[in-house]
Structure 1
Amino acid sequence: MKSKNWNEMKNMLDVELSEKLSELQDKIFRLRFRHSMAPVKNPLEIREIRKDIARTKTLITQRKKTKKESE
């Protein structure tokens, strides 16, 4: 994910981030399943999706912490 996408993610609403996270998790599940049957064309895609999931979770956690601190 490039910094442009990171900035776009920062501007997303919490609901949109949750939807993106579930979409990415579903995508990596399908890729891993296909990869177990036969090698996928681009195995680096699995790594990229895993990193996108981590970035999304990080952003969600950061927002939860800031909301908690502001209360």
Structure 2
Amino acid sequence: MNMKTSEIKELTTKEIVERIDTEKENLVRLRLNHAVSPLDNPLKLKDTKKNIARLKTVLRQRELSENQN
């Protein structure tokens, strides 16, 4: 599932942290499955990593804006 940045910004900080954990677990599972037998769509690995990066970016932006206040 590919998330847009606008969708991520609507989530609460707690939801973002939970989503990061879920996506990381999903990535590990995908990598293990891919090592055993090739995935039907290997781009899922790339999409999952990008989702994690988007989530972390929004989380970091929130941390920085809180520190400025």
Common fold, TM-score beyond 0.5? yes
What is the deviation of 1:11?
1.0
- Kindly provide the amino acid, as one letter, of the partner of residue 10 in structure 1: K
How many pairs does the alignment contain? 68
> 4+ runs of 1 displaced by more than 2 Å?
none
Q: Which residue of 2 aligns with 1:62?
A: 61
The within-5 A match list for 1:38-57 is 38-57=37-56
What is the deviation of 1:56?
0.4
Give unpaired runs (5+ residues) of structure 1: none
| Overall identity of the aligned pairs, in % | 29
Q: What's the C-alpha RMSD, in Å, of the aligned pairs?
A: 1.0
Query: How far apart, CA to CA, are the structure 1 residues paired with 2:37 and 2:18?
Result: 29
Q: Which residue of 1 aligns with 2:7?
A: 8
Give unpaired runs (5+ residues) of structure 2: none
TM-score computed with the length of structure 2 as normaliser: 0.93
What is the deviation of 1:7?
1.1
Q: What does the per-residue CA deviation read over 1:11-62, in whole Å, with 9 as the maximum and x for residues that have no partner?
A: 1100000010001000000000001111010000100000000000001001
Higher-RCO chain (CA-CA 8 Å, sequence separation at least 6): 2
TM-score computed with the length of structure 1 as normaliser: 0.90
